Chain A
Amino acid sequence: MTGGSCIFTVVDRGKANSLLHRAQQMGVRRGTIFLGEGTMSSRLLDLLGISETRKEVLLMAVPEGVSDALYGMLMDEFHMHKRNRGIAFSVPYRQYDPENKAPSVFSRQTDAPHVCLITVLERGLGTECMGKARAAGARGGTILHAHGAGVPRDFYFPLVVEPQKDMVMIVAPRESAPAIRDAIYTGMRLERKGSGILFALPVLRTLGLYEGKASEKAVMG
C-alpha cells in the first residue's frame, strides 16, 4: 500500500499541461486534467453575467517525499503564493495495490488545517451554491462539469441518460468549514432526497488560497 498526498491544483486554462510536465520530471507518475470554472467574486462582473473564469484542474497522486519539492516548484516557477496565480492543495490518499493489502482502516488525519468541501448538484446550480457558500465566508471555488451514472429510460432510442451535474469544490479553513457546509446544506435544500450531496476531504497543505481580504476588512472595520 503506497500513499502520499493527492495534490489538486487549479490554474488558468492552458497552464496545466506545462505544470504536469514539470511534475513528471520531478517523479510524479500520473496526472489527470479536467476543465472547470473558477468563481472569484466581483459584483460588477456578476451583474454583467461574466463572473466566471476558465480554469483547469490538475489532479496528481504525489508520493511521500516529492510533495515538498513540488510545492517549492509551484512557488518558484508558477508563483502560486501570489494572488491570482492559481491554487494548490493536498489531500491524503493511499494507492490501491493488490500485492500489498494493508488493514482497511485509514490513518485518520486529525490535524488537517483546511477542508475541501465538495458539493455535487444539478447542472446550473453551481453558481447559486457558490453564492450561498460565499455568504457564509467562503472566498472562492471551482465548478466542474460532471455527470452522474446513467439510468436507462424508455425513450424512443433506449439512451442511458446521464444526469448532468455541477461539482463545486471549495477549500476553506477548518474553523469556517462547518458554517459554509451548513449554509450550502440549508441554502441548497440538500435535505430533499436527490437534490445533491456534500462531502468533505481533509486538506493538509494549501498554497495560493486568497483569504487575506476578509481579515484585512475585519481589521480596518
Chain B
Amino acid sequence: MNLLRGKIHEVSRSLLPVMALVMLITFTLVKVDPDVVWRFLLGGFLLLIGLAVFLLGVDLAMAPIGDRMAQELATSRSALKMAFFSFLLGFLVTVAEPDLLILSQQVQTASGGTVSAMVMVYVVSAGVGLLIALGTFRLLGGRVSYPLFMALAYGVILLLSFLVSEEFLAVGFDSSGATTGALTTPFVLALTVSLSRIKGGRNAEEDSFGMVGVMSVGPIIAVMLLSILSGQERIQGTPETFVPASGILSPILHELPGVFRESFIALLPLTALFFLMNAVKFKVPGREAARIAKGLVYTLLGLVLFLTGVYSGFMDMGQVIGRSIAERFNWLLPVVGFLLGMIVVLVEPAVHVLGQQIEEATGGRVPLRLIRVTLSLGVALAIAGSMLRIMIPWVKLWYFLLPGFLASVILSFRSDPVFVGIAYDAGGVASGPVTATFVLAFAQGAAAMTPTANVLVDGFGVIAMVAMAPVVSIMTLGMFFRRREQALPRLEETRAAPSAESLPGRIEFLDCVVAVVKRGLSERAVEIAREAGAGGATILHGRGSGGHDMKLFHVEVQKEKEIIFMLTDTRQSETVADRLYRELDLGGEGSGTVFMMPSGAYGVGMPVSIGTREDTAEEEADPLHGKSTAEELLPKPPGGD
C-alpha cells in the first residue's frame, strides 16, 4: 500500500456517502437536468483525486514547512522578532487567499465603493497576523489559559457588535470563514503542533490545537473596526440570478484556468518565504528540500483538481436541490439539510488534516471517530437550523449565534483542555470550500424559492452557523471526557535526592533501559536517570493500555505515554531502574513500568557488541573497533556539559 492509495481510500470513505445521498435525492425527490447530474459525478471524481493528492502534498510540504517556521519562531531571542515573524506568517497566508479577495470585491460593489477591496484584504490579513502573533505569545508564554484567551476575544467581538450593523456582522463572520481556507488551515495546524512540540512539557497536548480558532477571530474584529472607522453601515446588493451551466465538460474546462491561477497565487507567498528562508537560514538537506518542492507541486495540483470539481460539479447541484425541495417539499428542508450537513463536512480538506493532527499530536489518545461524529452532528444541526431560519421569518441569526457562543465560552472552562482547542479549531475547519460552495448554494437555492426569505441575509448566516455549532458540540463531548478521566486515580509526584556516581573502569556491556511513563513526566524521568548515571535518552510519544481502561460511548480511550530509551552501563542499569521506579512511583496500576534489554552500541566513534560476548571478540578485528571504548557513548555526567 503506498501513501497515495491510502489517501484515496481515506477520501473515498468520506466522499461516497455524499455521492450516494445526493444521487438518492435526485432519483426520488427532485428532477435534475442530466447534464448537472453527470457533471456532479465527474466533479466528485475530480474531488476524490484532487483531495487525495492535496492531502499528500500537505503531508510532504505543509507539515515540514510549518515545522521549520515554528522552530524559527520558538527560538527567537527577542520579543520583537517573535512578534514580527508571527505577524508576517499570519499576514502572508491570508493575503493571497482567493476567497477573501472575492468577498472583498463583493463588499466593495455592495458598499458603493466606500470600502475598497484591497483595503479590506489588507485589514483582514493584518487582523489574522495580529491574532496569530497574540496566539503564539500565549502558547509559548503559557500565562493565559486558552479558554480565557478565547473568552476575551469573543468579549471584544460582542462589544464591537453593538456598534456595527447586522450586515457587517455577517460580512465579518463570512470573512472569517473565507480566511480559514483550504491552504491556510493545514499550514496553521502544522505550525501549532510544531510550536507545542518544541515547547513540550505537560500541556503539550492541549497546546497542539486552537490556533485556527484564534486566527478566525481576527477577520471578524478587523471587519467590524473597518465598518466603524469608515462609517459604512449599509450593504445592499442584488443577488445574481441563478442559471445552471449547460454541457458536461465545457463548464469544467471553463473553471480550470481561473482555479489554477487562484491556487497558484494563494500558494505563492508561503512558498517564496520558505525558499528565501531556506537559502538564508534553514539550509534543509537537498533531499528533503526536493521532497518539500514535490509536496508543493502536489498541493497545487490537488487543490486545482479539488476546487474545479467542487465549483463546476457541486455548486449547481446544490442550487438545484435547494430550489426544488423548497418548491415542492418545503417541510423536508431541515431534514435534508441535517443529512447533508452530517456527511458533507467530512469531505472538507481541513477536516482530514485536523483528524491526522489529532492522531499524531495525541498519539491516538483522543478518539478520532468520536470527534468526527460529534463534528458532523454539530454541522448537521447548524444547517437544519439555517433551514428553519429561511422557512420561518421571525427566527433571526443571533437567536442561534449568541447562545451558541455563550455556551462555548462557558463550556470551554469545564471541558477537557485538549477538546477546547480542537473545538475552536473545528469551527474554522468546518467552514471550508465544500461548505462555502455546496452547502451555501443549497441554502441560497432554498432561500430563492421561499417568498419570505432574503437570499443575501439568509445566505450569509449559514457559514457563521457552521462555524459555531461544532465548537459547542465538541466541547460538550470534552466535558463528558473530562468527567470520565477525573474518575480515574492520579499519580502523585515525589521529590528526588541527587546522587550521581560513576563507576571506574571500562564499560563492557550496555543495557537499553526502557521506561514507559505518563506524558509530561519524561523530562523528570530523564533527569532522574541522568543523576543515577544513565547517558543520553531518546523519547517517543505513544499511547498505552494496561491497568485502567476507560470507555466513552463504547470507544476505548487510552492513556498517553512517553517511552524513554536510555543506554546505560550494565553495572548501573539496575540503579537507574531502581531510581526511576521509586521516584516516579512506577509500581502502581497504570502508572508506568521500567525494563531492560541487553544491547551493544555504537555512539560517537564506538565499537559494538551485538548483544553477545562472542561478538565482542569478532569486533576486535573490525576496523571501527579499538579507536575508543564504550564510555564515549555515554555523555559526560551533568555538570560536565
Contacts and interface: CB of A to CB of B under 8 A. Distances in A.
B551 interface: no
A93 B288 contact: no
Contacts of A200: 599-602, 608, 610-611
A149 B526 contact: yes
B545 A115 contact: no
Contacts of B511: 106
A96 B598 contact: no
Contact of B595 (A31, A50, A96): A96
B291 A201 contact: no
A159 interface: yes
Contacts of A17: 556
B539 A12 contact: no
A87 interface: no
Contact of A50 (B2, B76, B596): B2
Interface in B29-83: 56, 60, 64, 67, 74-79, 81-82
Contact of B540 (A51, A54, A144, A185): A144
Contacts of B359: 35
B404 to A, nearest CB: 34
A35 B360 contact: yes
Interface residues of B, number: 98
A160 B523 contact: yes
B492 interface: no
B76 to A, nearest CB: 5
Nearest to B286: A128
Interface string B123-149: 000000000000000001100000000
B581 A155 contact: no
A17 to B, nearest CB: 7
Contact of A98 (B74, B290, B546, B578): B578
Given A104-B570, A106-B596, A109-B612, A156 B633 contact: no
A197 interface: yes
Given A157-B141, A193-B604, A202 B610 contact: yes
Nearest to B364: A33
B624 interface: yes
Interface stretch (A71-79, A174-182, A206-214): A174-182
Contact of A32 (B200, B298, B563, B598): B563
A48 B78 contact: no
Interface in A16-52: 17, 20, 24, 29-35, 42, 45, 48-52
A167 B567 CA distance: 14
B538 A165 contact: yes
Contacts of B501: none
A148 B565 CA distance: 10
Given A92-B598, A94-B595, A200-B610, A128 B285 contact: yes
A67 to B, nearest CB: 15
Given A42-B2, A156-B77, A167-B538, A49 B364 contact: no
Contact of A174 (B540, B543, B610): B610
Given A104-B573, A128-B285, A146-B538, A199 B599 contact: yes
Nearest to B204: A162
Contact of B545 (A12, A30, A120): A30
Contacts of B82: 156
Interface residues of A, number: 83
Contacts of B219: none
A91 B1 contact: no
A202 to B, nearest CB: 3
A66 interface: no
Contact of B598 (A108, A124, A127, A149): A108
Contacts of B530: 149
A29 B624 CA distance: 41
B201 A160 contact: yes
A170 interface: no
B622 A178 contact: yes
B595 A95 contact: yes
Contact of B6 (A54, A127, A147, A182): A54
A147 B542 CA distance: 12
B445 interface: no
A80 interface: no
B325 to A, nearest CB: 38
B624 A182 contact: yes
A6 interface: yes
B509 A32 contact: no
Contacts of B601: 197-200
Nearest to B611: A202
Contacts of B522: 149
B595 A159 contact: no
A9 B287 CA distance: 29
Interface of A: 6, 12, 17, 20, 24, 29-35, 42, 45, 48-54, 59, 61, 84, 91-96, 98, 101, 104-106, 108-110, 112, 115, 118, 120, 124-125, 127-128, 144-150, 153-157, 159-162, 164-165, 167, 174, 177-178, 181-182, 185, 190-195, 197-202
Which 10 pairs between the two chains have the least Cβ-Cβ distance? A30-B546, A202-B611, A34-B542, A199-B601, A198-B602, A96-B577, A49-B294, A32-B544, A149-B526, A50-B3
